[in-house]
Amino acid sequence: MSDYLLQLEDVHTYIGLAHILRGLSLALRPGEAVALLGRNGEGKTPTIKTIMSLLPPRQGRVRFRGEDITGAPTHQVAGMGICVVPKGRHIFPALTVMEHLRVPVVKKPHRREDLLKQAFAIFPELAERKNQPARSLSGGQQQMLVIARALMTKPRLLLLDEPMEGLAPVAVKRVIESMKAVKDEGITVFFASASCERALAVAGRVYIIEKGRIVYQGSSAELMAAPEVQQRHLGVRE
Amino acid sequence: MTSLIITQILNGVTIGLIFALVAIGLTIVMGLMEVVNFAHGSFYMFGGYITFFVFSAVGSFWLGLVVAPVVCAVLGLGLYYAIIRPLRKRHPLEPLVALVGVAMICRQLIRNIWGADPKLLPIPFGRVQFSVAGVELTYPIYFFVVMGVAVAALLGLYILFRKSDVGIRCLAAIQDRDTAMSMGVNVDRIGSLMLVIVMGVAGLAGGLVGPIFSVYPTMGLELIGLLFVIAIVGGLGSIGGAVIAGVTIAMTKSISSIFVSGNVSDILAYCVLLVILLIRPRGIMGLATVME
Amino acid sequence: MSLSPRFRLLLGAVILAMILLPWLGQPYLVYLLTLSMIFGIFALAYDLLYGFTGLVSFGHSVFYGMPAYAVGMVAVTVFKYPNPVVMIAAAMFSGLLLGCLIGFVCTFARGIYMALITFAFAQICELLVMHDPWGITQGENGIMGVRAAPITLGGLKLDLFAGVGLYYLVLGLIIVSYLVIRLLVNSPLGDVLKGIKQNEHRLLSLGYNPRPYKVAAFGLSGMFAGLAGAMAVFLNNSVVPSLVDWSVGAEILLITIMGGAGTLIGPVAAAFLIIFAESYASAYLGGGNWVYVMGGLYIAVVMFLPGGIFRTKYLKKAFA
């Protein structure tokens, strides 16, 4: 059993003919909260999708808890303990809050009733709106819903793709709180973010991706102390 | 005249419910597996012929109505494993070609076994006399029975989709396949289960229609065009939508058949389809409001 | 996609064989080949729209059958003027016009919805033709006795619109159509069309408006399909509603996919394959049993030759 929870080894991913990830490597230890930073279009979402096997790599390996999961069907990856909060939330527009929480497959020995109770405890605003259609919720509430939805699979690794994007500051605070709560539960958190400042509020460690490759890694403290790195890789392009 | 109109309204409701039953199968498969199933009409046809076969062998139409959905469900499973599953990673039009081939073979099979002439099943029960809106009518009881069975089947499907885990996951997968899979839902397995169920329902519909229109080898082929109209106008994945669209279209056809030729009402139906496809491709009930 | 020298040689040999073939004196074979070439032109038209521009049409029978009716109307029911040049022009023009019109409507929808729009149009057209509100299409029976007057070139009477004459005409037309479409596809216009297929968003960001190009693709496809339709009328001397039936559109879709979308040659070859298979199967198998062969062929090709006959690895050697 390896030291790492998740490893991406020299991953090359293509979308059609476009070479999106070009030799991407990263590793996560259990219990960490790690951010993937980068400008839009540099490969953050494809990285998340590759881990989730929604975009299987053409080359390279994905290892979870030491096991090679490259190319495994997505629902199996979810069964092994990885779940995702997709970019743009991706609610099921026609389903109610409660129905959303019934979709995820609950692994034994957990019981759905217990997990529901936990979810409603962390997100009381969802408990109040159990039978409301998801599309009538506010942006922030929808974000809570999709986080709660992902947590129903009791993952070891929670992936979030730009969870704070497009939300009012109050909602962003809520998201940060819930991400910290998830981390405190012992769940490893890996999230993509275009905003450095917000990410550093949660993450202990960061990777920066540029043109499909990791160009920087370090602790949050190190990055905060290196504004020239931030400017070079995350600043507005000339 | 009024009694004629009322009769046609009742006919429209009956036929529309049957069409909706078959169209639902099409929309579920299209929404869930992104496969345009041109062989769907074949299962409707098989349902009719199996019912006829049981009736002519054993003498019981009702037994036929029970056997037909079961056989069609099994055949649906066969279709899944033989054609749909192996081709699921292909460009969506390739399974379509294969399914057209399947439909052709099925029609010919039926022709070889039973011949090309329509087989009429006798209508059970007699007629009933009643008055509505001050007009005296006689109407076949069987049509009311069909309405009842269809409604029961539709209710069953509704409960399946809205109340059961499998159904909710199916709806989720229709709306967002990737996200559903990320939640651990095995969309392929759900797809096969749904396929089996809807094929059984289509077979039931084919059997029910036997005493009304008789069964003939091109009954599925003739219907497939209208099925697409109903499926799209109603909205992919929507039971309520399929019912509304099916009944509306069937009623339009039956009422307008009093005044104009059949072709004109079909033209109208397709014009409606065009308008819907352009303005609101998600259909009446759309994927935004999958059911009621 | 250019053809390898070896394949060009093969193609040349085939064309030579086809030129010499009528000397064998087998009229049925000539008929079958003419029909195959007609479907070949139709398939080229379809591949232009589907294989290169990536637009799926379930209703292509409209562009085949309605121009056929235009021919019938010009020659018999409306203008009573069976001049072959006018007839062919009418067919190609109506194909172009219908293509642009339907194509324009289609640009407001995507994917399967767009395909179903074409399907709806096909159904409506067939119903209109059968209903015959203006008495010009002769309803279910269709228009009979459509014959083009032979052309006189410098004292020589050439009957290019029946029998062997038609065979050579269609042979010439399919070669020309192929070359024209090849040219189109490799031109800057073709690049835009391929861009629509591959990545429309990218195209938009590059400053292209896809709409007029989609309409153009539909129009051109309709024009060539109309040409095929006109030839079909000459072949059978009649125009019937089944020419507009959606099953014709389905068949050409099948042929294109089976042959290999986007290869141009593939769909043409597949047209020959399907027409001949159908003919021989129905000759040798009693009753309707030839359907088993055809259905089985469709299933087998899809299962075992992914991407179509001309996209399999073995045949990739044929391409440079």
- The tens digit of pLDDT for each residue in C235-254 reads 988 898 889 988 899 889 98
Residue C162's CB: how many other CB atoms inside 10 A?
Answer: 16
Mean pLDDT of chain C: 86
Closest CA to A223 of A204, A236, A238: A204
> Which stretches of chain A are DSSP H helices?
44-51, 74-80, 97-102, 112-122, 124-127, 139-151, 169-184, 196-200, 220-224, 227-234
How would residue A206 be classed by pLDDT, with cut points 50, 70 and 90? very high
* Chain C neighbors (3+ CB pairs < 8 Å): A, B
Mean residue pLDDT of chain A comes to: 89
Residue C320 binned pLDDT confidence (cut-offs 50, 70, 90): very low
Whether residue A47 has pLDDT greater than 90:
yes
pLDDT of B13 higher than 90: yes
Residue identified by tokens 């999961």 is A69
Distance CA A105, CA C57 (A): 39
Q: Which residues of A fall below an 8 Å CB-CB distance to B?
A: 52, 54, 73-75, 78-79, 83-84, 86, 90, 92-95, 99-100, 102-105, 107, 135, 149-150, 152-153
Give the nearest partner residue to A75 out of B185, B288, B291, using CB atoms: B185
- Number of C-beta neighbours around residue A18 at 10 A: 12
Q: Which residues contact A170 (CB under 8 A, 6 or more apart)?
A: A140
Residues of chain C in contact with residue A15, where contact means CB-CB under 8 angstroms, are none
Separation between Cα atoms, residue A181 and residue C298, nearest integer Å: 56
- Interchain pair B178, A135: CB under 8 A: no
CA distance C123 to B226: 10
- The CA distance from B50 to B53, in Å, is 5
pLDDT category, C131, cuts 50, 70, 90? confident
Interface test with B, best of C303, C311, C312 (most B CBs within 10 A): C303
- Residue C249 token pair: 């559109």
Contact C203, C195 (CB under 8 A): yes
Show residues of chain A in contact with B181, CB under 8 Å: 54, 73-75, 78
Is residue A20 within 8 A of residue A43, CB to CB? The reply is yes
Predicted TM-score (pTM) of this structure: 0.84
C42 vs C63: CA distance, rounded Å = 9
Tens-digit pLDDT profile for residues C251-305: 899 899 888 888 888 899 999 999 998 888 888 887 778 888 888 988 988 888 8
Burial readout C24-40 (b: 16 or more C-beta within 10 A, e: otherwise): eeeeeebbbbbbbbbbb
Tell me the β-bridge partners of B129: B138
Give the per-residue pLDDT at C92: 95
- Chain B residues whose beta carbon lies within 8 Å of the beta carbon of residue C299: 83, 98, 101-102
The one-letter amino acid code at C182 reads: R
Neighbours of A19 (CB within 10 A): 14
Strand partners, B160: none
Chain C interface with A: residues with Cβ < 8 Å: 198-199
* pLDDT for B204: 94
Q: Check pLDDT > 60 for residue C128.
A: yes
Residues C296 and C292: their CA atoms lie apart, in Å, by 6
Which two three-digit tokens encode residue B203? 């077979």
Write down the mean pLDDT value for chain B: 86
Under 8 Å between Cβ of C43 and C257: no
Do B42 and B72 contact (CB within 8 A), yes or no?
A: no
Q: Residue B8's pLDDT is what?
A: 86
Question: Between B135 and C185, where is the model more confident?
Answer: C185
H/E element, A61? strand A59-64
Residue C77's pLDDT is what?
79
Q: Taking residues A145-150, what's their average pLDDT? A: 93
Between strands A188-193 and A205-210, the pairing is: unpaired
Q: Which value, in Å, is the radius of gyration of the alpha carbons in chain B?
A: 19
User: Once rounded to an integer, what is the mean pLDDT over residues B154-166?
Assistant: 91
Task: Check pLDDT > 60 for residue B291.
Answer: no
State which residue of chain C sits closest to B101, comparing Cα positions: C295
Among A173, A22, A162, A200, residue whose Cα is nearest residue A85: A162
Nearest to C68 by CA among C146, C161, C141: C146
What percent helix, strand, coil does chain A show, rounded to 5? 35, 25, 35
State the Cα–Cα distance between residues C215 and A162, nearest whole angstrom.
39
Per-residue pLDDT tens for C7-20?
788 888 888 888 88
Q: Render B19-73 in DSSP notation, one character per residue.
A: HHHHHHHHHHHHHHH----TTHHHHHHHHHHHHHHHHHHHS-HHHHHHHHHHHHH
Asked whether residue C150 carries a pLDDT value surpassing 80, the answer given is no
The position carrying tokens 């009643």 is B130
For testing contact with chain B, the best of C49, C106, C113, C123 (most B CBs within 10 A) = C123
pLDDT band at C216 (very low <50, low <70, confident <90, very high): very high
Q: What is the sign of the dihedral through the CA atoms of A93, A97, A99 and A104?
A: positive
Is residue B289 very low, low, confident or very high in pLDDT (cuts 50, 70, 90)?
Answer: very low
Position C317 pLDDT exceeds 60: no
Which tens digit of pLDDT belongs to each residue from B53-78? Answer: 999 888 888 899 999 999 999 999 99
A window 5-34, beta carbon within 8 A of C: 16-17
User: Which residues does residue A207 pair with via DSSP β-bridges, in sequence order?
Assistant: A36, A217
Number of H helices, E strands in chain C: 13, 4
- Kindly list the distances between the CA atom of residue A151 and the CA atoms of A141, A155, A223, C116, C166, in Å, as whole numbers in the listed order: 15, 6, 29, 40, 71
pLDDT tens column, C59-112: 999 999 999 999 988 888 778 877 888 889 999 999 999 999 999 999 888 777
Burial class (CB in 10 A: 0-12, 13-18, 19+), B82: middle
Residue C122 distance to chain B (closest CA, Å) = 10
Secondary structure letter of residue A91 according to DSSP: -
pLDDT at B287: 59
Nearest CA in chain A to C197: A16
Which pLDDT does position C215 carry in this prediction? 94
CA of A105 vs chain B CAs: smallest distance (Å): 5
Show residues of chain A in contact with B187, CB under 8 Å: 75
Q: Residue B2's pLDDT band (boundaries 50, 70, 90)?
A: confident
| B182 → closest Cβ in A84, A93, A94 | A84
By the 8 A CB rule, do B65 and B145 touch?
Answer: no
Beta-bridge partners for A192: A36, A161
Shortest CA distance from A112: residue in chain B: B165
| pLDDT for res C155 | 62
Partners of residue A68 on adjacent β-strands: A63
Subunits with 3+ C-beta pairs closer than 8 A to A: B, C
Mean pLDDT confidence for B120-130: 82
| Distances, alpha carbon C301 to alpha carbons C12, C48, C237, C305, in Å | 26, 21, 34, 5
Tens-place pLDDT, residues A86-105: 998 889 988 899 999 999 99
Concatenated DSSP letters for A164-180?
Answer: TTT--HHHHHHHHHHHH
